Structure 1
Amino acid sequence: MIIVLTGIDGSGKSTAARALVSSVRSQGGRALLLSNHAGRRVMSLVAARLGVRVPIQLADAVETALRVGNVLVSHLRARRFDGLVVMDRHLHCQLALRAASGLPRGQFLPWLLARLPQPDAIVHLDIDPAEAHRRIVSRGTDSESLADLAAFQAGYRELPEYAGFVKVDASVPKEQLMAELLWRLAPVGGNGCAISR
């Protein structure tokens, strides 16, 4: 069973993924967390430190290569794991970033998405960009602007796949978010995975 978490920066994807895996394990279930990062944070921090601006097309090429590599490795690991697999980010995130940057969707990522094993659910952590920006500023590790986050959110909503995502309000407290996630995912846990409230 594969669950994918998507959402803009500051929506709490990584925190929710860790908490979901921990919750399933605490109930005696087997769960595995896999992260499909693209190195965007590192690249922007290095570029800021060097005082250079990475061209959008180059940034997308590097991020896409890293994301695709991570996603393929994650799916190989998921095939060998008997239990719940939670993927923090996926190819949808790269497609949303492309839309946010005004880049074309392209053919390769949609082609690859259609050929990879389909997740049992894609959960989108929905949050107001202003709240996400406040979280990012408070943790002090990213440099996303409010405009970037709003464009990223719009990029997700433009995806043809977005209509099939399970949308969850990510602005609520962590405990409430986890209860909502477990409740939303309980119907897809009928194949023996321990997902319950």
Structure 2
Amino acid sequence: MARSLRATGGGARLRRVALIGIDGSGKTTQAHRLADALTEAGRPATYHRNAGGRRWLGRLANRLGRPDAQRLVGRNGVLAVESVLRWLAIAAALLSCLVTGRVAVMDRYAACQYASIRAHGGQRWERLARAGYRIFPRPQVTFLLTVDPAEAYRRIERRGTDHETMEWLAAADTAYRTLPEYAGFVVVDASGAPDEVSRRILAHLCEWLPSGTAVPPAPTPPERPASPAVEPPREPVVAQARP
């Protein structure tokens, strides 16, 4: 699903871009790539990781002999810590880019907190979070990177730095799709190779880039080797005796 950038403020200067999605969707990889691509295109950008501390809290829980963060501080404790830490990270990122004038490429933004709260089933916390996050300006473009939860699970297991359950990933995927902001997201299929995902993201941003900036073309599929020619069966030769 692709929305025209003109509908999201394409005539203004690009200042904030957010990449959101479930864990394992490739947000961090693509946010780093986008910050580098914008800088090379003449739009100096800075990567900002607006984490909520779930991974850190989970590691702390394991060190203290608990299976996960929720068993350590409870659901409400997790949501409180996550909401505060992400709020502080976003505030620091926005202040930094206001001072430097660089484009803020946000790896996670307020919508990630709303989705996390919904996936945890804490609707009361969502109202509080929205009240606190309301002071932050909306990104001019928000990319929702989508990937099947089963594929996201495999990616997380391969990187081996943390762990998520299939139930959590499926709940988070549903949460993003049910947010009221969903209609304004630029939805990007992130199930392919990183280069192809990067190309799709840059293609959506072409109206924000200086004229003449080249967007990498879509990779051409490899040519399939020609099948060997199959000769038609020959009719059997029947020898006839001379009269």
Identity of aligned residues (%): 37
Structure 1, residues 135-187: CA drift from partner, whole Å, max 9, x if none? 00000011101111001111111211111110001111011011100001223
148, 153, 157: which is aligned to 1:137? 157
Of stretches 145-154 and 74-83 in structure 1, the one that deviates more from structure 2 is 74-83
Q: 1 or 2, which has the higher helix percentage?
A: 1
Distance 1:14 1:26 in 2: 19
Return the alpha-carbon distance in structure 1 between the equivalents of residues 22 and 152 of structure 2: 8
1:26 aligns to what? 40
Matched, 1:17 2:31: yes
Match of 2:187 in 1: 167
Give the SS at the match of 2:205.
helix
C-alpha separation in 2, matches of 1:119 and 1:195 = 22
In the alignment, the residues of structure 2 paired with residue 101 and residue 178 of structure 1 have an alpha-carbon distance, to the nearest angstrom, of 30
In the TM superposition, 1:33-72 aligns within 5 A as 33-52=47-66, 53-54=71-72, 55-72=74-91
- Give the structure 2 partner of residue 82 of structure 1: 101
Q: So what's the TM-score if we normalise by structure 1?
A: 0.92
Q: CA deviation at 1:194?
A: 9.2
1:194–1:147 Cα change, 3 Å: farther
- Aligned residue number for residue 115 of structure 2: 96
Alignment of 1:102-181 (within 5 A): 102-104=121-123, 105-181=125-201
Higher relative contact order (CA 8 A, sep 6+): 1
- SS of the equivalent of 2:60 reads helix
1:97/1:155 contact within 8 Å kept: yes
In the alignment, structure 2 segments of 5+ residues that lack a partner are: 1-14, 216-243
Q: TM-score, normalised by structure 2?
A: 0.75
What is the CA–CA distance in structure 1 between the aligned matches of 2:31 and 2:126, rounded to whole Å? 28
SS at match of 2:139: coil
* SS at structure 1 position matched to 2:106: strand
Do the aligned partners of 1:185 and 1:195 also contact (CA within 8 Å) in 2? no
Compared CA separation, residues 127 and 22, structure 1 to 2 (3 A): same
8 Å Cα contact 2:118/2:126 also seen in 1 = no
Name stretches of at least 5 consecutive residues in structure 1 with no aligned partner: none
Mapped pair 1:182 → 2:196: no
RMSD: 1.9
- Residues 83-142 of structure 1: per-residue CA shift (max 9 Å, x gap): 422011011111101100110153332234443222111101001000000000000011
Question: Are 2:146 and 2:187, in contact at CA under 8 Å, matched by a contact in 1?
Answer: yes
Summarize the Cα distance change of 1:113–1:135 in structure 2 as closer, same or farther, 3 Å threshold: same
How many angstroms apart in 2 are the aligned matches of 1:63 and 1:28?
35
CA shift at 1:27, angstroms? Answer: 3.1
Alpha-carbon offset, residue 50 of structure 1:
2.2
Larger Rg: 2
Specify the code of the residue in structure 2 equivalent to 1:38.
G
